């Protein structure tokens, strides 16, 4: 149950004109982001870049058009990595359908996906997916830059940015006519470094803050993006940041459309030495993100849900 008295997620405005390196608003954004991620594993970023030229409406119209395609077409979105390709009626989540474009900041990848869905072509869709992916990648990079700077490790930021790739997922949720459950996406932590979620006006995303047993609900708005720390960020940060446990509930009759941008890293991931000290002894050995995904994939359903999976995989 979501308690009426539940605290709200921190909200951080990243659209401000004066948010420039070296300014006091930049320094306070650095601080706010680190505190939010350390205390909540998540925050709401206010970012207005979808609003220009009615672009946000085009995004959700495109999602509707995509999910209206026949089931056998959507099932052509195949990717062996976990939660990268089509998930839907074939999965154990009857209320949830998802599709994904890996490396979505590249136009060719968006075109490849579009060609699978619309062999006759749909130039507009690939443009929209590509533009959306790049807007949200820019937001993710801003968040990372602020976070690295607040830890005093800005010298590592460019290489981090250079090794980041993005999976864009399109999500649709609706109330089931037959099932009694309203749990559309069961509680989990993401295997990404960070994830950025955006949805239409329909509520559903709930998040649990560190060590708490209360669910906080997210109230969507056209300029709100939920930034969620994934398990990889938790290991990288030496447990300073806890990955955020979250789920999706569908209650009403309205269809919920959402988009998730998941950041993954190439190459070996290790905790920067600046984040290791007497108070924070090293918790995780260096690891590879793709191998972590394979480990996750080969785990039993029970281990997949284990909050200690990172410790089992690469704990010191």
Ligand X SMILES: O=C(O)CCC(=O)C(=O)O
Binding residues for ligand X, rule: CB under 6 A, are 169, 171, 185, 190, 197, 199, 205, 246, 248, 258, 260
Q: Which does 147 bind (CB under 5 to 8 A by kind): ligand X, Fe ion, none?
A: none
Write out the binding residues for Fe ion, residues 166-225 only, by CB under 5 A: 190
Q: Is residue 32 within the footprint of Fe ion (CB under 5 A)?
A: no
**Closest approach of Cβ 272 to ligand X, in Å?**
26
User: Are the C-beta atoms of residues 258 and 303 closer than 8 Å to each other?
Assistant: no
User: Looking at beta carbons only, is 32 or 190 nearer to Fe ion?
Assistant: 190
**Closest approach of Cβ 263 to ligand X, in Å?**
12
- Rounded to 5 degrees, φ, ψ at 248 are -130, 130
User: Looking at beta carbons only, is 145 or 169 nearer to ligand X?
Assistant: 169
Rounded CA-CA distance 215/99 in Å is: 26
Rounded CA-CA distance 168/193 in Å is: 14
The residue whose Cβ lies closest to ligand X is 258
Which distant-in-sequence residues (6+ apart) come within 8 Å of 308 by Cβ?
Answer: none
**Closest approach of Cβ 25 to ligand X, in Å?**
28
User: Looking at beta carbons only, is 135 or 171 nearer to ligand X?
Assistant: 171
| Strand runs labelled E in 213-275 | 215-217, 224-229, 245-249, 256-265, 268-269
User: Looking at beta carbons only, is 208 or 246 nearer to ligand X?
Assistant: 246
CA nearest to 167, candidates 84, 57, 253, 68: 84
- Which residue has 């006091």 as its token pair? 24
User: Looking at beta carbons only, is 114 or 192 nearer to Fe ion?
Assistant: 192
Binding site for Fe ion (CB under 5 A): 190
């Amino acid at each position: 149950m979501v308690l009426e008295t539940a605290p709200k997620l921190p909200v951080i405005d990243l659209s401000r004109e004066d948010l420039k390196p070296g300014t006091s608003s930049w320094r306070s954004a650095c601080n706010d982001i680190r505190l939010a991620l350390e205390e909540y594993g998540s925050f709401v970023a206010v970012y207005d870049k979808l609003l220009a030229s009615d672009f946000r409406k085009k995004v959700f119209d495109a999602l509707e058009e995509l999910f209206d395609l026949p089931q056998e077409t959507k099932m052509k979105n195949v990717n062996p990595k976990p939660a990268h390709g089509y998930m839907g009626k074939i999965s154990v989540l009857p209320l949830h359908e998802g599709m994904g474009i890996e490396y979505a900041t590249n136009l060719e990848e968006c075109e490849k996906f579009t060609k699978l869905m619309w062999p006759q072509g749909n130039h507009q869709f690939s443009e929209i997916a590509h533009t959306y992916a790049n807007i949200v990648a820019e937001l993710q990079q801003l968040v990372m830059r602020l976070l690295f700077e607040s830890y005093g490790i800005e010298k590592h930021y460019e290489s981090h940015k250079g090794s980041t790739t993005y999976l864009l997922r399109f999500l649709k949720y609706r109330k089931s006519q037959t099932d009694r459950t309203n749990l559309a996406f069961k509680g989990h932590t993401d295997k990404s470094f960070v994830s950025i979620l955006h949805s239409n006006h329909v509520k559903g995303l709930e998040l649990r803050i560190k060590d708490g047993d209360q669910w906080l609900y997210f109230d969507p708005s056209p300029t709100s993006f939920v930034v969620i720390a994934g398990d990889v960020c938790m290991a990288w940060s030496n447990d300073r940041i806890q990955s955020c446990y979250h789920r999706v509930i569908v209650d009403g009759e309205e269809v919920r459309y959402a988009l998730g941008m998941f950041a993954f890293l190439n190459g070996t991931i290790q905790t920067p030495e600046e984040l290791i000290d007497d108070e924070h002894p090293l918790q995780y050995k260096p690891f590879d993100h793709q191998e972590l995904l394979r480990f996750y994939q080969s785990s039993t359903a029970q281990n997949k849900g284990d909050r200690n999976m990172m410790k089992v995989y690469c704990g010191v």
